[in-house]
Structures are given as structure tokens and as C-alpha cells.
Amino acid sequence: MKKETMVAVFFGLLFGSIVAVFISFKSKDIELAKNKVIAPPKEKTSFPNTSVIEQQPLVLNEPADRTIVENSVIRLKGSAAKNSLIVIQSPIKELIINNKLEKFDLEFPLALGENSIKIVVYPKEKQFRPQEKFMKIYFIDSKL
């Protein structure tokens, strides 16, 4: 075999092996790229919306349970879900309001002595349960 032929075969084998290695790496990359499509990168992951709509609690800032007052009227101050129905009941008065704003500030009459007052909030979203608060307010006239 001629020397030129030997060199040509050698270079042919070398080139062939380089091409083979290149193709095998390339196919690996293609495979990896395919896998990436199945499991996309974190930053591009979009989870379905699993956040739960929370019910706004009934908060009564004033008055505290078992408060003693010297007036025949008190102010009920607090907050509840917007557009909820608020029902306030005592032995002497019923009050029903549509809570258009979150905060409420309502005047409520008292009888002399013990006043059992129940506040129930019916949320607009019917899937939520009503919320309740019960309190006793004592109207003790200072002139007694």
C-alpha cells in the first residue's frame, strides 16, 4: 500500500470518528431538549390557580362583652365582609342592614339592666357560613 493511501485512510478514519462523536453528542442534546419540554424550567412553570378565597371575619371593636354603660344607647363598631347582611337582635330591638362598606358603626338602644345582643353576618357568597357574635352589655344608670 502506498504511503499516500495510508495517510488518506488514517485521515478518513479520524474524520469519521470525529463526525461519529459529534453526532452522538448532538443526539444527546436533542434528547435532553425533548426532556426539557416534558419538565419545563422552574421559572416557566405555571401552576394552576389553587389559592382559596378567604372569608373576611366578623370583627367587633366596640363594645367589649360585659361592658357597663351609663347611657341607653351604644355604638357597635367593627368590620365584616362587604355586601354581607348583618342582623343584630336584642330583646328590645332588631336591626338588619346591608353592609355596603367593610366597616360598620351602628347605634343600638339598650334596656335598663342586662342586654343580650346577638350579631349574625350572612356573607354574600353563599358558600360561606354565617358568622356570629354574642355579648352582654349592662346599662346601669348612675342615678340609681
Residue 76 in contact with residue 106, Cβ under 8 Å? Answer: yes
CA triple 51-56-57, angle to 5 deg: 130
48 in contact with another protein (CB under 8 A): no
Distance CA 115, CA 91 (A): 7
Q: Quick check: 114 binds another protein (CB under 8 A)?
A: yes
Q: Quote the least distance from Cβ 101 to another protein, whole Å.
A: 16
Nearest-10 Cα torsion for 58, 59, 65, 67: -130
Q: Check residue 68 for interaction with another protein (CB under 8 A).
A: yes
- Return the residue of 7, 18, 96, 101 that touches another protein, per CB under 8 A: 96
Residues at the site binding another protein, with contacts judged by CB under 8 A? 66, 68, 85, 87, 89-91, 94, 96-98, 111-114, 116-118, 120, 122, 126, 129-130, 132, 134, 136, 138, 140, 144
